[in-house]
Amino acid sequence: MLSSNASTPGTAVAVGPAPPAPSSGSSAGTSNTTSTSTPTSDVLTVRPDRPGATGTGDGVPVQVSLATQSVRGVLAVPVTALLALAGGGYGVEIVTGSGADRLVGVQTGIYAGGQVAITGPGIAAGVKVVVAQ
């Protein structure tokens, strides 16, 4: 997120050590450099997908969100729909056509934003899942 509260996607193109701080106190012919111990940090270089959306500031603080995994076309439910099974693993309660609930074992996938991808028998688009309140 930019300082203007706008956001724009981008791609991380480099990670490396921060550049050294400029030395101070040099004068005619002599060097009077003070060295202090500071924690090191890395610099993340991001190339915005839409450079015009970032403005023209240089060295402006921004908030960066990184996606470490990404999948498409998954069926996801709220994490609160997961039930721990006695034999291990997870299940969800699905609502059948007659309105009754049925427990189904599922395999979990990626978690993000309070949602979890699931697969299992009877799990398909449009299936209603019971969610804890």
More confident residue, 85 or 9: 85
> Is the pLDDT at 107 greater than 90, yes or no?
yes
**Domain coordinates of the chain in residue numbers?**
1-66, 76-129
Count Cα neighbours of 48 within 13 Å in the Cβ-side half-sphere.
14
- Give the DSSP H/E element, type plus range, for residue 118: strand 115-119
Mean pLDDT of all residues in 31-37? 45
Compute the mean pLDDT over every residue in the chain, rounded to the nearest whole number.
80
Say what the pTM is: 0.52
CA distance 100 to 18: 59
> Is the pLDDT at 29 greater than 50, yes or no?
no
> Is the pLDDT at 50 greater than 70, yes or no?
yes
More confident residue, 26 or 115: 115
Exposed e or buried b per residue across 112-125, where buried means at least 16 C-beta atoms within 10 angstroms of its C-beta: eeeebbbebeebee
> Is the pLDDT at 16 greater than 80, yes or no?
yes
Matching residue, tokens 């949602």: 115
